Structure 1
Amino acid sequence: MLIPFGRLPAWIALVILSREMMVTGLRGLASSSGIVVSASGLGKIKSTLQYIGLGILIFPLDLLPIPYLHQIGLVVLYVALVLTVWSGLDYFYKLRQVFLVEEKGEL
């Protein structure tokens, strides 16, 4: 509902959702190879900032007259977006051996 109301750009939601699906798939692939992937500290910070940013954006603006509340929520979500991309790349870098094992297994 944030996108139709103009509170969240659609591309931000797309990037965040794409990262979540890719990391979930990567973790599933790793677990099928016997590798346990726990959540990283960076991912936990990312999730916390996403929840805070989305909570601020969902908050009704007329309930409390806090100036620039929407902008604060967007800034928090932009920081979470940077951490989203960073932690996604970090997962792929740390689990690159999963891809190498899969390639070797197919030969």
Structure 2
Amino acid sequence: AMLLTFAELNGARRNEEAVRYGNEALQIFKDLGNPRMQAAVHLALMGAHQLRGSAKDALEAATAGLELYRDVQDKKGEGKALHGLALAYGVAEKWGEALKSSRSARTIFQEL
């Protein structure tokens, strides 16, 4: 049990580091004016927020990534972001929204 507790604490610490590094990367790509990489970082952050069970942060990150991919008309990225949004809605237990986002992602992937 003690090893499990240590593993959980270590995982939480690494997750916090991932979020911190993700936010640093996000700022760098903003400064460079690279919206595609900003979107990719938002999706990575969504995954980190998801792992720690923060539905609000996961939804915000997925939505930000989706908007950026749409702005640059990147359909593959948009599909990935919609899939991520579906996962984030799952963390929030908003099943109808999760299904809607996953169907939108599926439609895009079928068109690619």
TM-score (norm 1): 0.36
Larger radius of gyration: 1
TM-score (norm 2): 0.34
Greater helix proportion: 2
Structure with the larger RCO, 1 or 2 (CA within 8 Å, 6+ apart):
1
